[in-house]
Amino acid sequence: MLRWGFIGNAPAERGSTLPGFSCAADPCQLQPVLRDGERTGYCPQPACAMCAAMRPDFILTLSCPDRTGIVYRVSGLLFEAGCNILDAQQFGDEESGRFFLRVHFDMTDIGDAPTVRARLQALGEEFAMAWELHDARRRARLLVLVSKQGHCLNDLLFRTHSRQLKVDIAAVASNHADFGALAGSYGVPFHHLPVNADNREQQEQQLIDLVERERIDLVVLARYMQILSPRLCQALAGRAINIHHSFLPSFKGAQPYHQAHARGVKIIGATAHYVTSDLDEGPIIEQDVARVDHAMTPRDLVQLGSDTESQVLARAVRRHVEHRILLNGHRTVVFR
């Protein structure tokens, strides 16, 4: 229970409480803050660790031509704005000559955010930065696309339901009706959008409309076995992730794990990447492998491969929604 020193503009009675919070300070001198129309707050007392967790926090990501003084200027800007850096990671790529930075910081008042943005805008112009500032407490909204294989969908639904992923799955869409009941069991709306050669353009427009209507941040192709048109790829640029086995280009088409078994492969793997108009060749986010041996059947390989795909996709989604991925040409910089 949080002991409030002030609620609104009037002093609260000493020892008064607000459900759902806790504070070591007595009394805790909170100032009211509005976020998304709801009242929240922070405690300016440095010793109040529990209330410090309530301070609004943000994630800054940027890339720019590499030069001296970038970290100094960014950290100085945040310090002058009264912000506190919680975590920072950086990388300078000698090959491309670009510098990449991710900074997680908090501030005492959400009302300071416009000032920080304005100062970043000016600094960005000076250093030719591509930068983004994200509210770290906002949960990303996902649209999951699936066809006939549901292992990745099932994994994402469970991880979201159990709070292992900081996301909200706003909808599931499929060109088949198979997983309507699975989505429904988690209370997630399911959209059956059949597609064929005659209605592909209309079906993709339905997907675009769904993305806009549900304010989708990320589209996840969880074994969605349809090739997206260049138009749809462009509409989803930078906010669509695909998962597939890592046998390409060796084992294309149907039953790749059976083909791999027939060739006696010793490892299988999965790749998660951003969707582009170049089929299965977008910037890679995450990969993993699993060892197999001669005693394993094609069914064993399919099961092991499904597990690997699910884990790789979940890690890719987590790193995207935590704003840990920056594009470096056709490659990615992924801060752990």
**Active-site position among 135, 280, 300, 307:** 280
**Per residue in 258-284, is it b (16+ CB within 10 Å) or e — as a string?**
ebbbeeebeebbbbbbbbbeeeeebbb
Cα–Cα distance measured from residue 190 to residue 171, given in angstroms and rounded to the nearest whole number: 6
In 44-183, which ranges are E strands?
57-65, 84-93, 98-106, 130-135, 140-146, 167-174
Structure tokens at 276: 């582009």
Question: How many other CB atoms sit within 10 Å of the CB of residue 209?
Answer: 10
Beta-carbon neighbour count of residue 39 at 10 Å? Answer: 11
Secondary structure percentages of the chain, helix, strand, coil, to 5: 30, 30, 40
Side by side, which strands form the sheet with 240-245?
190-192, 167-174, 140-146, 218-221, 240-245, 267-274, 284-291
Q: Is 155 a residue of the active site?
A: no
Q: Which residues are catalytic?
A: 280
